[in-house]
Amino acid sequence: MNQITGDAPDEKALYLRDVLATSYDAVNDTAVYLKDQVAVFSAAPIGQMAGAFTIGTGASKAIFIDTEP
């Protein structure tokens, strides 16, 4: 983990912590297994981090689905 530096605004540090915790918990609670192919229903920051966490836990592919272009 990288430490948040003192020059980072509190608002940005708060959002980073929220995005990381929410996406990590989502992946952890859904039990992603080795070589799974995962669909992530959001390409927003939380969805993107969730996709990264699924690959980190062993999924072979993360496909993002979003209604916004």
List pLDDT tens digits, range 40-57: 999 999 999 999 999 999
Q: What is the pTM of this model?
A: 0.77
Low-confidence ranges of the chain (pLDDT < 70): 1-2
Which residues does residue 61 pair with via DSSP β-bridges, in sequence order? 37
- pLDDT of 50 reads 96
C-alpha dihedral over 26, 28, 29, 35, to 10 degrees?
100
| Alpha helices per DSSP H over 3-69 | 10-29, 45-56
Domain ranges of the chain: 31-68
Question: What is the C-alpha separation between 47 and 68, in angstroms, rounded?
Answer: 13
- pLDDT of 18 reads 83
